[in-house]
């Protein structure tokens, strides 16, 4: 089998990769919905991939892997990798999890990171109400995640931190500075309100930054120990930050019993090495759409497990094809797996243009692992063509 074309179209908000083979099998991969600008980055890899055997996933990836980088520039490589696995599974007549070593679990746990509503404000009462709404969702999530502090509009409150909010046309989480006492107390009040609403029925994870200074992060992590949080995510570095600072994360991690989590922006296993070997965090959270793909994520999970570190993959904007990839790889992860971040189809018509998703998708916070070949979820060209831009009209030809 050989690759005869590599295509990319922005369908809705997500760049979609199609690997076309000489045997009539196509594989699909998806880039996060926040990155429609990455289409040309995908297409630059067309020429290097032509003629490769897509079922030799690792050999094929060696042609292009060195050309990726930290979020967002690992996403193009990652989507191609997932499309290769989709082809390989379809060619073998097997679900991808079988090619990754087989199932460890029949159902995979998800946490809510995508099914959110815009809050009227980030006051404690509004955040408590949001927790109650999340608890009432039909998916029955057993873990939910909420953005707070520098990963939310809370930072815009007057006197929240000693610094100025810097507007950015590219991304909103670039502010950083020491916390005021008022800001710290406000944030703690919000956490207490959310935990009171959730009780001990649903676990709470907090997406915190990046933006915290180390002394404030230590004070906060210690202050919330009584709430038994699932984790504090990206306090120091993280989302769109092109470095890790494992030594500083270790200072935070060893100072508290609250689990510290990071990793969604990191590209490749090599860039998790310090985090894992230094025991710098308690939870790692690579995103398969940024880290280099699903085989890369599995390698990181295995290495983290050897060091007693837990795994909770990121995925909020990965769409329904990204959801399928997460189900496949998380079925095969070791026992350090907690849950992955549930991505939703956006716009909602995504659910009408694919086949293979169960209905309902999530029950009691879990997804049953399906056994269809490849990733097990396919775009139906006849339904999807109406959503193609003119420049992409030949995507399915």
Does the pLDDT value for residue 174 go beyond 80? no
Write the burial class of residue 248 (CB in 10 Å: 0-12 exposed, 13-18 middle, 19+ buried): middle
pLDDT for the residue numbered 341: 98
CATH class of the domain at 3-93+379-392: alpha beta
User: Looking at the whole model, is its pTM more than 0.95?
Assistant: yes
Does the pLDDT value for residue 308 go beyond 90? yes
Angle between helix 214-223 and helix 246-253 axes, rounded to 10 deg: 30
Tell the CATH topology of 98-375: TIM Barrel (3.20.20)
Kind and range of the H or E run holding 10: strand 3-11
User: CA neighbours within 13 Å on the CB side: how many for 7?
Assistant: 19
Task: Please give the structure tokens belonging to residue 157.
Answer: 């409150």
Could you say which DSSP state residue 299 is in?
A: H
Could you say which DSSP state residue 33 is in?
A: T
Average pLDDT for the chain: 96
Instruction: Quickly count helices (H) and strands (E) in the chain.
Output: 13, 14
pLDDT for the residue numbered 390: 96
Task: Please give the structure tokens belonging to residue 365.
Answer: 């916070």
φ, ψ of residue 355 to 5 degrees: the values are -115, 145
CA distance 269 to 104: 22
| Rounded average pLDDT over 121-138 | 96
CA distance 347 to 297: 27
pLDDT band at 34 (very low <50, low <70, confident <90, very high): very high
| Rounded average pLDDT over 75-101 | 98
| Rounded average pLDDT over 304-312 | 98
CA distance 331 to 37: 31
CA distance 195 to 173: 24
Domain ranges in the chain are 3-93+379-392, 98-375
Task: Please give the structure tokens belonging to residue 45.
Answer: 């890899």
Instruction: Quote the distance between the C-alpha of residue 243 and its chain's center.
Output: 17
């Amino acid at each position: 089998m050989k690759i005869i074309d590599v295509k990319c179209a922005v369908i809705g908000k997500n760049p979609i990769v199609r690997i076309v083979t000489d045997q009539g099998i196509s594989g699909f991969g998806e880039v996060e919905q926040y990155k429609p600008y990455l289409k040309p980055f995908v297409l630059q890899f067309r020429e290097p991939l032509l003629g490769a055997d897509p079922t030799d996933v690792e050999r094929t990836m060696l042609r292009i892997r060195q050309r990726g980088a930290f979020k967002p520039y690992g996403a193009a490589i990652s989507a191609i990798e997932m499309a290769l696995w989709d082809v390989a599974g379809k060619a073998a007549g097997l679900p991808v999890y079988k090619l990754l070593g087989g199932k460890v679990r029949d159902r995979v746990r998800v946490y809510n990171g995508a099914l959110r509503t815009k809050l009227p404000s980030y006051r404690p009462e509004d955040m408590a109400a949001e927790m109650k709404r999340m608890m009432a969702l039909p998916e029955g999530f057993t873990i939910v995640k909420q953005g707070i502090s520098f990963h939310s509009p809370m930072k815009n409150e007057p006197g929240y931190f000693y610094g100025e909010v810097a507007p950015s046309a590219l991304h909103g989480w670039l502010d950083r500075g020491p916390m005021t006492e008022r800001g710290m107390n406000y944030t703690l009040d919000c956490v207490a309100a959310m935990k009171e609403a959730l009780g001990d029925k649903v676990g709470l994870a907090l997406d915190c930054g990046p933006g915290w200074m180390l002394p404030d992060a230590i004070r906060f992590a210690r202050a919330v120990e009584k709430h038994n949080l699932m984790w504090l995510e990206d306090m120091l570095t993280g989302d769109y930050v092109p470095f890790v600072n494992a030594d500083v994360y270790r200072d935070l991690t060893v100072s508290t019993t609250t689990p510290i989590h990071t990793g969604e922006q990191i590209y490749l296993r090599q860039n998790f090495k310090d985090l894992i070997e230094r025991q710098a965090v308690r939870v790692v959270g690579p995103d398969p759409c940024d880290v280099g793909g699903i085989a890369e994520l599995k390698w990181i999970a295995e290495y983290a497990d050897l060091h007693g570190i837990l795994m909770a993959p990121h995925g909020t904007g990965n769409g329904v094809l990204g959801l399928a990839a997460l189900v496949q790889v998380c079925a095969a992860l070791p026992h350090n797996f907690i849950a992955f971040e549930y991505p939703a189809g956006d716009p909602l018509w995504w659910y009408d243009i694919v086949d293979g998703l169960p209905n309902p998708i999530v029950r009691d916070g879990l997804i049953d692992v399906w056994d269809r070949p490849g990733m097990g979820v396919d775009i139906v060209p006849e339904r999807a063509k109406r959503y193609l831009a003119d420049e992409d009209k030949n995507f399915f030809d």
